[in-house]
Structure 1
């Protein structure tokens, strides 16, 4: 009798990326980090928002609670993300019990008053406690996690009347609902009076650019010229008041220029834009400067050149102290311009994943003294660009992206180095990591990198800047192979470069977080 039983262990199924090409998985910690750092929680080219959220939940369960908490704080305080830290917090509250980790985490990630209500709204959805018409009134949250409740109560104590009034907006949960739900204990009689005003809907309307312009827009004007003059005066007042925050300034540069404000007002605007401390306090993601630059670039005002120059200076402040890139460091920067990178980062944004890669690459290029820059799609093409013009260089690359096609032949970057026998110290790919060979020759980045290190540059380092966080990479992330992963859209990705220079990894900065 012949027995057809096999006693061999089953081989693990091959890992494929979204294009069906061979790929490599990440550790649960690295995958969660990459997914969080690139999470817009909206539909992407390869992954729907619900799919990303489900994957985040699975990864949270696979990681240690303390790491998840540290990652949430890192995402909020270092990467300046708002929604995904709240998701991590709510999911951690569902899984973790027995200590005050969750309440301490809530106190760290809730930094604006409206994040109290956003956290509760997501908690209702995550725990299927929505009310009618998708609403989540407080009565549907009566089984709120005690640690979440404690953390939110502490958060209420940090906000003054201006902040409570500014962010008391209509939504799934109102601040009034949250107040009844978590029962914060007022620090003193003055704060109790604020809470009472919030309950009664009697908080004073805050002085913000939104409320001022809204009131202005409701007025009647005798002519278009009178309306123009009124809005010009209002913008000048807002600029002089100091109440126009840095983000509001960036978003309204076009409106300010179209209002034709005075020369003095524009000088004040530009002075704020280039102020190093103001840039640091604003916590703007680099692509925000690109979005503002493009809006201003479309205008015909004679003040446009000064504003564009100010934006160039402002974005340059975000990478002033980069280590590991001296005059002798040979760097290659390669930007993925494939079709999947032509995806807006969110439904309401004009900024593409491709743009983020270009911005980060040009920030690095501005600090490198020995650098080759280019882009890859069907082909790899080197493009010489002047140093010190980050946003202008981004626009130049954007203009030329069709020159290389729209596939994802990232292996050609290293193949070109190998054919030239050109030694570089650092190769940096800005990509969604979904590489495949459209030429039919079965080329791969893994094979090319292995050969390049073996035959040309044994000490070369490859940095994958993962801009999409899909969970797979085109080659193994291992120090012994000279391969590192960095994920995210913030200039804080460059802090990871510093950690790598010190022998750490992308997770080193996260593990430093104290809770």
Structure 2
């Protein structure tokens, strides 16, 4: 009699995020499951906007927890920690957490006199992807640990500087508002030019002149952008608006590297219709998203708005911008004109293009409790409740057969039709008070093939029971943690119970790996 080689046999799969078997209390007093250090750091990292308040934790408390976990694992497991930090800044697209983490990685390994594993220099270089980030990392280090900068930090920054510093980056990011100018950084880290870039030596010397002798600094010969910029800066103020309103004004501004942030200062006047129309062609996708209200208030023409809208809705532009879907939702909610609505709806759809299409029957539960309504960050206009609803709705719309449910103290089904836009379905979600995940699962689970819960995992004390235990052990339950709190609402890592984190559609692809019989490893190690 066959006992193991049967038609129904399934490979045993595991998840990277694992519980320890120990329990604690959630912030609301409910039963919570503790995770191992790597799992806790991963979930905190993908939800951490550094120095930002959450509903249950102050920014300082979260930052201290984050730094302590990085320092511990930088010594205990440097390969894994270096992989996490590089992924955070790359595919994870989280700048600040990765920069802070790299600095703490270096500090911990220096304090422990640790050797082996990725060097501090390698880790620092791996997280610096934008020209302003060397200064950001130096700012964090010196404000936290003083002005003595260790060699791994200096060398990692020097490697990044050779890769990142160009004419346009100098104009965009080397401004008087920065504590560390490009010239300061070059002096501090002793960065030498890249031999493969013969123009870089002259550029570095010019950056030093701009910092120390701005009145006599002259762009190097052949530096076309810097020369064009200098020519515009030399124009009398009364002649500058004619550049904007004249033929070829947009091209001239772009050639000189004049950004929208710098244009008002250069004009020394308001950003009116003509100014916006001249700079819109050279603005990046997310700069457009952030300024839609400004365009409307200035009276930008429908013709120019149509070109901006076409760029917003372009799938390739959306993919290249690597912005989270909630950025487009925030813009949609706050853009005053209907001419932006459909392009933003399209952009949001494109940003969710990689959400998987799940076969069979799927139960999707979206947390709309009170703690989910805190902003994603102090600068964000969007909250975790809406971010959860975006992904829950996208999953439901793409699934073969899905039940979409919102829950808090109570729970209720959210109706949708095949082919509807995510934004229309979002309007049917509400604010549902406390967090009774267990009851929501118990009420709506009806022999589904899988259950997905998008939540902060913070059940209140009077709601008893592990929500994942309401589902048979052979049915997978996937939890997306959007806040990175220490305790989870259920055990994870083994036996069809899986936890992921963050606000990227990349995490949702883990479902397909697990159900194909593959282990859901850390995202930077998945082939």
- Tell me the TM-score normalised to structure 1 length: 0.82
2:436 alignment partner in structure 1: 409
2:57 alignment partner in structure 1: 47
Q: Distance in 1 between matches of 2:411 and 2:292?
A: 36
The question of whether the paired residues in 1 share the 8 Å contact of 2:355 and 2:505 is answered with no
1:222 alignment partner in structure 2: none
Task: Give the alignment partner of residue 156 of structure 1, picking from 154, 161, 172.
Answer: 161
Q: 1:60 and 2:70 equivalent?
A: yes
Shift of 1:37: 0.2
Q: Distance in 2 between matches of 1:373 and 1:437?
A: 26
Q: Distance in 1 between matches of 2:133 and 2:470?
A: 50
Per-residue CA deviation, residues 275-299 of structure 1 (Å, 9 max, x unaligned), is: 1111111010111001110112xx2
2:468 alignment partner in structure 1: 449
Task: Give the alignment partner of residue 351 of structure 1, picking from 356, 359, 382.
Answer: 382
The question of whether the paired residues in 1 share the 8 Å contact of 2:363 and 2:452 is answered with yes
The question of whether the paired residues in 1 share the 8 Å contact of 2:407 and 2:437 is answered with yes
2:182 alignment partner in structure 1: 175
The question of whether the paired residues in 2 share the 8 Å contact of 1:75 and 1:81 is answered with yes
Over 3 Å counting, the alpha-carbon distance change for 1:46 and 1:149 in structure 2 is same
Q: How does 1:359-398 map to 2 (within 5 A)?
A: 359-387=390-418, 388-397=420-429
CA-based RMSD of the aligned residues comes to: 2.2
Shift of 1:172: 3.6
Higher mean alpha-carbon deviation, 187-196 vs 329-338, is at 187-196
Shift of 1:310: 1.3
Task: Give the alignment partner of residue 333 of structure 2, picking from 294, 308, 314.
Answer: 294
1:426 alignment partner in structure 2: 450
Q: Distance in 2 between matches of 1:263 and 1:126?
A: 49
Shift of 1:108: 2.1
Q: 1:239 and 2:266 equivalent?
A: no
The question of whether the paired residues in 2 share the 8 Å contact of 1:67 and 1:511 is answered with no
2:258 alignment partner in structure 1: 207
3-state SS, counterpart of residue 93 of structure 1: helix
The question of whether the paired residues in 2 share the 8 Å contact of 1:322 and 1:498 is answered with no
Q: 1:497 and 2:515 equivalent?
A: no
Task: Give the alignment partner of residue 274 of structure 1, picking from 298, 313, 332.
Answer: 313
The question of whether the paired residues in 2 share the 8 Å contact of 1:186 and 1:192 is answered with yes
Shift of 1:122: 1.1
Shift of 1:391: 2.2
The question of whether the paired residues in 1 share the 8 Å contact of 2:354 and 2:506 is answered with no
Over 3 Å counting, the alpha-carbon distance change for 1:176 and 1:498 in structure 2 is farther
Q: 1:79 and 2:96 equivalent?
A: no
The question of whether the paired residues in 2 share the 8 Å contact of 1:15 and 1:24 is answered with yes
Shift of 1:92: 0.8
Q: Distance in 2 between matches of 1:356 and 1:506?
A: 23
Q: 1:307 and 2:340 equivalent?
A: yes
1:103 alignment partner in structure 2: 121
Q: 1:334 and 2:373 equivalent?
A: no
Per-residue CA deviation, residues 476-495 of structure 1 (Å, 9 max, x unaligned), is: 00331x21111012222223
Task: Give the alignment partner of residue 118 of structure 1, picking from 136, 145, 150.
Answer: 136
Per-residue CA deviation, residues 68-87 of structure 1 (Å, 9 max, x unaligned), is: 11111111111211100011
Q: Distance in 2 between matches of 1:126 and 1:85?
A: 16
1:147 alignment partner in structure 2: 152
Q: How does 1:123-142 map to 2 (within 5 A)?
A: 123-127=141-145, 129=146, 140-141=147-148
3-state SS, counterpart of residue 272 of structure 1: helix
Q: Count how many residue pairs are aligned between Structure 1 and Structure 2.
A: 451
Q: Distance in 2 between matches of 1:189 and 1:106?
A: 25
Higher mean alpha-carbon deviation, 499-508 vs 78-87, is at 499-508
2:24 alignment partner in structure 1: 15
Task: Give the alignment partner of residue 459 of structure 1, picking from 474, 477, 484.
Answer: 474
Shift of 1:393: 2.1
The question of whether the paired residues in 1 share the 8 Å contact of 2:362 and 2:399 is answered with yes
Q: 1:474 and 2:486 equivalent?
A: no
Over 3 Å counting, the alpha-carbon distance change for 1:209 and 1:497 in structure 2 is farther
The question of whether the paired residues in 2 share the 8 Å contact of 1:499 and 1:508 is answered with no
Over 3 Å counting, the alpha-carbon distance change for 1:512 and 1:124 in structure 2 is farther
Q: Distance in 2 between matches of 1:126 and 1:501?
A: 45
1:254 alignment partner in structure 2: 293
3-state SS, counterpart of residue 363 of structure 2: strand
Q: 1:25 and 2:30 equivalent?
A: no
Q: Distance in 2 between matches of 1:34 and 1:252?
A: 32
Over 3 Å counting, the alpha-carbon distance change for 1:475 and 1:256 in structure 2 is same
Shift of 1:124: 1.6
Q: Distance in 2 between matches of 1:262 and 1:353?
A: 35
3-state SS, counterpart of residue 350 of structure 1: coil
